[in-house]
Amino acid sequence: MTLSKDTRNLCKGLAFLSPWLLGFAVFTAAPLALAIYLSLCYFSLSRNGGNSAAIFRGLANYRELFHDALFWQVLRTSLLYSAMALPAGMLMSLAVAILLNSKVIGQSVFRTMVFLPSLVPSVASAVLWMWLFNQKLGLINNFLGHFGIAGPGWISDATWVLPAFALMSLWGIGNTIVIYLAGLQDVPRELYEAAELDGAGPLSRMWNVTLPMISPVIFFNLVMAIIGVLQVFDVPYVMTNGGPAHASYFFTSYLFDKAMKYQEFGYASAMAMVQFALVLLLTGIAFWTSRKWVHYR
């Protein structure tokens, strides 16, 4: 049987895509399907005496979740942290990218300095910031002390621990800055020249030229930031391990403990599905609102 040209081209395309398709099926689609199934099962090695059989129980795990006070606390903590860290990171990275896009002496050096912190491993960053946030010996409180300000216990006070982590999140905005820089350099210079001829000042050019032209880049960074802030785990786990008084006990930390510490894999899978649904919801809202403020050429 002779295949048509279109069929042959399709087969060639699928052959080239097969490594990615196979990797997606094995490492993404299959684990996701398994997590969805386990979220509907009773699967706890610690309570079953090592029995690895998953017992189907429908939506029982989800019902337990919604009656779990700690679940609602960690969800609130994660959302509160996201409300602080996400806008701060978006605004700071955009502002720094605009500054680094200016023609100044040593521009490449400044860009390298800003990007380097994002390359530091998260555990090393956590150890560094534990020292910076130290209430008695930390550099931040010592600096504030020169102005007569008694610095708080940044990671030992339940009131300040989330703002401290939000402040620390600005340490790793180098990747976002690089993406913004790429978008800024793609803005046609003639648009700025036309705006200047019309008498537009720097702020007017920023609002009417720069931001609309890079709005797709802003939207991309927003979606990536939503996914990132809702999955924060390693740094808080190393620095405070949920304390003080569960004030820095994030959603992913609770999920990790349920799965790895208590081995309640069915319950942890249900938590993962709730987290996945929350990310989809917030990302969907971002896509829905993007029709009003994202402008494509």
The Cα 237–Cα 76 span in angstroms is 17
CB atoms within 10 A of CB 13: 10
Instruction: Say yes or no to pLDDT of 143 above 80.
Output: yes
Q: Is residue 117 part of a domain?
A: yes
Nearest to 255 by CA among 243, 242, 239, 238: 242
Q: Is residue 239 part of a domain?
A: yes
- Give the three-state DSSP class for 24: helix
Instruction: Say yes or no to pLDDT of 107 above 60.
Output: yes
Q: Is residue 52 part of a domain?
A: no
How many structural domains is the chain composed of?
Answer: 1
Q: Is residue 162 part of a domain?
A: yes
Here the tokens at position 162 are 């989330």
pLDDT of residue 280: 96
Instruction: Say yes or no to pLDDT of 285 above 70.
Output: yes
Q: Is residue 218 part of a domain?
A: yes
pLDDT of residue 199: 87
- Give the three-state DSSP class for 201: coil
pLDDT of residue 168: 95
- List the CATH number of the domain containing 98: 1.10.3720.10
Lowest mean pLDDT among 5-9, 64-68, 151-155, 173-177: 5-9
Mean pLDDT of the chain: 91
Instruction: Say yes or no to pLDDT of 45 above 90.
Output: no
Determine the structural domain holding residue 164 and report its residue range.
61-293
Q: What is the pLDDT of residues 84-105, one digit of tens each?
A: 999 999 999 999 999 999 888 8
Q: Is residue 91 part of a domain?
A: yes
Instruction: Say yes or no to pLDDT of 50 above 80.
Output: no
The Cα 167–Cα 165 span in angstroms is 5
- Give the three-state DSSP class for 44: strand
CB atoms within 10 A of CB 18: 10
The Cα 20–Cα 25 span in angstroms is 8
Q: Is residue 23 part of a domain?
A: no
41 bridge partner residues: 56
Q: Kindly state the average pLDDT of the residues 54-61.
A: 92
Q: What is the pLDDT of residues 223-233, one digit of tens each?
A: 999 999 999 99
Instruction: Say yes or no to pLDDT of 9 above 60.
Output: yes
Residue pair 55/136 in contact (Cβ under 8 Å)? The answer is no
pLDDT of residue 157: 93
Q: Is residue 270 part of a domain?
A: yes
Q: What is the pLDDT of residues 268-283, one digit of tens each?
A: 999 999 999 999 999 9
